[in-house]
Chain A
Amino acid sequence: DAKTTQPTSMDCAEGRAANLPCNHSTISGNEYVYWYRQIHSQGPQYIIHGLKNNETNEMASLIITEDRKSSTLILPHATLRDTAVYYCIVRPPLTYNTDKLIFGTGTRLQVFP
């Protein structure tokens, strides 16, 4: 399984963009990059995923480098409610009955007033 490397923690001022980096230099060509977040004591929440192209939804934007070895999750206007642990996950290639998500240690994002 491809490994990911994320900073342990980051701070962001409320209202500013939060840019969370992720390194996945061993990613395979058919593996997706997924982002989840986990607010304290809650289940992980899906944010966004992508394969090669940049993606945007109502929560965030995902920028994937051309060589696919790294990506950045962007929260355009961080709020206090975005304080959470953010997980960047590379999803292994689907073989019969073996689809799964393997979590790394994630980035603890603290949004401050």
Chain B
Amino acid sequence: DTEVTQTPKHLVMGMTNKKSLKCEQHMGHRAMYWYKQKAKKPPELMFVYSYEKLSINESVPSRFSPECPNSSLLNLHLHALQPEDSALYLCASSGEGFGNTIYFGEGSWLTVV
């Protein structure tokens, strides 16, 4: 089973709203990732968690707040977003050791109005 589950699949939110994207995996992976993908562009790395600790933040604005409550869950809290933040948000996970495959979820489509 190589499944990474993301919810919701679609989210529309106003610029003053607070919402969250959720990601879950049950593969025992200890690294989890958030990527952002704009239309017709490649995915861009946002955050990496390793053993439930934030290890990489690719200079992401503070209106995006990641959280890793346990080794199976990864959240992305959204607050005061801008319309240009509308994108596909992808979660991924990987096991231990160099060369281990990174598996992606199907993504959450976010529209900020």
Task: Tell me the bound Cα distance from A46 to B103 in angstroms.
Answer: 7
Q: Mark B92-112, 1 if CB is under 8 A from A, else 0.
A: 101001110111111100000
Which of A9-17, A18-26, A69-77, A101-109 forms contacts with chain B? A101-109
Is B67 among interface residues, defined by CB-CB distance under 8 A? no
Q: Is the CB of A43 within 8 A of B106?
A: yes
Q: How many residues in B have their beta carbons less than 8 Å from beta carbons of A?
A: 28
Is B56 among interface residues, defined by CB-CB distance under 8 A? yes
CB proximity of B36 to chain A, nearest CB, Å: 11
Q: Is the CB of A43 within 8 A of B45?
A: no
Q: Is the CB of B107 within 8 A of A100?
A: no
Is A67 among interface residues, defined by CB-CB distance under 8 A? no
Q: Is the CB of B48 within 8 A of A43?
A: no
Q: Is the CB of B31 within 8 A of A102?
A: no
The count of A-to-B residue pairs whose CB atoms sit within 8 angstroms is 61
Residues of chain B contacted by A104 (CB below 8 angstroms): 42
- Our pick among B50, B88, B102 for the contact of A101 (Cβ within 8 Å) is B102
CB proximity of B30 to chain A, nearest CB, Å: 10
Is B90 among interface residues, defined by CB-CB distance under 8 A? yes
Task: Tell me the bound Cα distance from A102 to B104 in angstroms.
Answer: 14
- Our pick among B2, B42, B102 for the contact of A105 (Cβ within 8 Å) is B42
Q: Is the CB of B56 within 8 A of A98?
A: yes
- Our pick among B90, B98, B101 for the contact of A94 (Cβ within 8 Å) is B98
Task: Tell me the bound Cα distance from A32 to B90 in angstroms.
Answer: 22
Residues from 63 to 113 in B contacting A, C-beta threshold 8 Å? 88, 90, 92, 94, 97-99, 101-107
List the 8 closest A-B pairs by CB distance, nearest first. Answer: A97-B55, A103-B42, A94-B98, A43-B104, A97-B50, A43-B106, A44-B104, A43-B107
A interface with B by C-beta (< 8 Å) = 30, 32, 34, 36, 41-46, 49, 51, 87, 91, 93-94, 97-106
Give 8 new A-B contacts, CB below 8 A, not counting A41-B88, A43-B107, A100-B56: A32-B99, A43-B92, A43-B106, A44-B43, A46-B102, A87-B42, A91-B99, A103-B43
